[in-house]
A and B are shown apart, each in its own frame.
Chain A
Amino acid sequence: MIQTDILIIGAGPCGLFTVFEAGLLKLRCHLIDALPQAGGQCSEIYPKKPIYDIPAYPSILAGELVDKLMEQAEPFKPGFTLGERAETIVKDEEDQFIVTTSRGTIHRAPVIAIAGGLGCFEPRKPPIDNLSNYEDRGVEYIIKDPEFYRGKRVVISGGGDSALDWTIFLADGVASEVTLIHRREGFRGHLDSVQKVMDLAEQGRIRLLTNAEVMGVDGEGQLQRLTIDHQQQGELVLETDHWIPLFGLSPKLGPIADWNLNISKNAVEVDTFDYSTNVPGIYAIGDINTYPGKLKLILCGFHEATLMVQSAFKRIYPDKNLVLKYTTVNGVSGF
């Protein structure tokens, strides 16, 4: 079990800055994030995009901002549980929260800060009615262990790097048969990967279907065949053992919706005095919260994090007085 002072759900910019502000008050933090790396949207969606409204940075790439926030948090030694989604929150008899993740990791803390941004990033699922019947029965959205596909017939859908990379990997003596299906003629993704896939198709080592889309899944208890709509050839039926649709990730509010918090328009309602939710001890900061006048800006999330940790301190140490100390006086190591 991981014990900390403030358990931060979401390791985006706002969650990372919370570590720093909490650190100044000698509060320790641990962060949970469903993504395998810290940085949230900044790392996952737009690491190479410049941001222009961070004070004192006329322009900074989102990925660089995350690196700098990590560096700023580092003296306070935050803990991380990455690649796991926070699933449940319960209270124990000592008034502490117990948070369990999708992989069963247990965390315990007197205060929770939800800095969940847009929610959890989850694979985009094609809109096929009976698709859920075949999930983990031949349909997988993430490749966890490529060995799982050894000697199997595999169909991959998508036009991005992950679709290209996995096609190349599985075609190299892993799967018995690999088909790549893409809606368009052209592929985005690295040029050398695109070239490799074209070469494999030419050599007959993979089947490449462009201008095609999977429209239906079928099988007895297990995926057996796909119905494909092909622009030139019309409807095709393809026998397969696995279908791996790789259409990127999109954010979903996810389990946060089940934590008895007041939710309005996919966001958690908070009191702007200290960004507390309706559940004492649980705060929400950054893009995940809402209040009159809310602006979804990183800048505003930093401010919210700063005020929130003051309130968290008083909750953890009700008898201690808090004095604002400036980092200019003692530096950061002084804390």
Chain B
Amino acid sequence: MSMIKVTVIDREGEAHELDAPTDMGMNMMELCKSAELPVEGTCGGMAMCASCHMYVKSHHDLPEKSGDEEDMLDEAFHVTGESRLGCQIHLAEDLEGLVVQLAPVG
């Protein structure tokens, strides 16, 4: 199994270093949920609820946002240039060392 390390900063500012498998088709929303971090993932990963809104704090080259993701972030609050939906960040080798921060619930 191939693993990378990613860091998730929760809403209290605490950093959680997680082992993330890259060969299970997982995304950041699912990783957070499996680590019991407070991410709802209401819509199940369809970019339709913004409950996995997070800020990418490290300088990783993420794939461009899809139209669906852009549209959903339109309806979210506390959106910044670092905003992404966790469910649209697919865990892959090149995300080693990724740091994200959970956006406020809103």
A184 contacts partner chain B, Cβ-Cβ < 8 Å: yes
B71 contacts partner chain A, Cβ-Cβ < 8 Å: yes
Contact B51 A250 (CB under 8 A): yes
In the complex formed, the residue of A with least CB distance to B105 is A127
A291 contacts partner chain B, Cβ-Cβ < 8 Å: no
Q: Mark A36-72, 1 if CB is under 8 A from B, else 0.
A: 0000010001100100000000000000000000000
B46 contacts partner chain A, Cβ-Cβ < 8 Å: yes
Contact A45 B75 (CB under 8 A): no
Question: In whole angstroms, how far apart are the Cα atoms of A189 and B43 in the complex?
Answer: 20
Question: In whole angstroms, how far apart are the Cα atoms of A247 and B44 in the complex?
Answer: 20
Nearest CB in chain B: distance from A53 CB, A: 11
Contact A127 B42 (CB under 8 A): no
Contact A118 B42 (CB under 8 A): yes
Nearest CB in chain A: distance from B81 CB, A: 12
Q: Mark A145-163, 1 if CB is under 8 A from B, else 0.
A: 0000000000000111000
A248 contacts partner chain B, Cβ-Cβ < 8 Å: yes
Contact B43 A247 (CB under 8 A): no
Interface SS, A side: loop
B42: chain A residues at CB < 8 Å are 118, 250-251
Nearest CB in chain B: distance from A123 CB, A: 11
B104: chain A residues at CB < 8 Å are 127
B77: chain A residues at CB < 8 Å are 124, 126-127, 247
Contact A45 B106 (CB under 8 A): no
Question: In whole angstroms, how far apart are the Cα atoms of A118 and B46 in the complex?
Answer: 15
Nearest CB in chain B: distance from A292 CB, A: 15
Given contacts A118-B42, A127-B106, A160-B74, contact A250 B49 (CB under 8 A): yes
CB contacts under 8 Å to B, within A67-126, are 118, 124-126
Nearest CB in chain A: distance from B27 CB, A: 17
A183 contacts partner chain B, Cβ-Cβ < 8 Å: yes
Contact A46 B46 (CB under 8 A): yes
B interface residues, how many (CB within 8 angstroms): 19
Q: Mark A246-257, 1 if CB is under 8 A from B, else 0.
A: 011011000000
Contact A160 B43 (CB under 8 A): no
B57 contacts partner chain A, Cβ-Cβ < 8 Å: no
Question: In whole angstroms, how far apart are the Cα atoms of A224 and B74 in the complex?
Answer: 26
Contact A124 B78 (CB under 8 A): no
What total count of A-B pairs have CB within 8 Å?
Answer: 48
CB contacts under 8 Å to A, within B64-95, are 67, 70-71, 74-79
A196 contacts partner chain B, Cβ-Cβ < 8 Å: no
Contact B74 A188 (CB under 8 A): yes
B9 contacts partner chain A, Cβ-Cβ < 8 Å: no
Contact A184 B49 (CB under 8 A): no
B48 contacts partner chain A, Cβ-Cβ < 8 Å: yes
A126: chain B residues at CB < 8 Å are 77, 106
Contact A45 B71 (CB under 8 A): no
B70: chain A residues at CB < 8 Å are 184, 186, 188
In the complex formed, the residue of B with least CB distance to A125 is B106
B78: chain A residues at CB < 8 Å are 127
Say which residue of A49, A127, A160 sits within 8 Å of B75 (CB atoms).
A160
Nearest CB in chain A: distance from B101 CB, A: 16
Contact B48 A46 (CB under 8 A): yes
In the complex formed, the residue of B with least CB distance to A44 is B48
Question: In whole angstroms, how far apart are the Cα atoms of A186 and B49 in the complex?
Answer: 19
Q: Mark A219-255, 1 if CB is under 8 A from B, else 0.
A: 0000000000000000000000000000110110000
Which B residues fall within an 8 A CB radius of A? 42-44, 46, 48-51, 67, 70-71, 74-79, 104, 106
Give 17 pairs: A residue, B residue, CB < 8 Å, sorted on A: A41-B43, A45-B43, A45-B49, A46-B43, A118-B42, A124-B77, A125-B106, A126-B77, A127-B77, A127-B106, A159-B71, A159-B74, A159-B75, A182-B74, A188-B74, A247-B75, A250-B49
Identify 10 new A-B residue pairs, CB closer than 8 A, beyond the known A46-B48, A159-B75, A160-B75: A41-B43, A124-B75, A126-B77, A158-B75, A159-B74, A160-B71, A186-B70, A188-B71, A247-B76, A251-B42
Which A residues fall within an 8 A CB radius of B? 41, 45-46, 49, 118, 124-127, 158-160, 182-184, 186, 188, 247-248, 250-251, 296
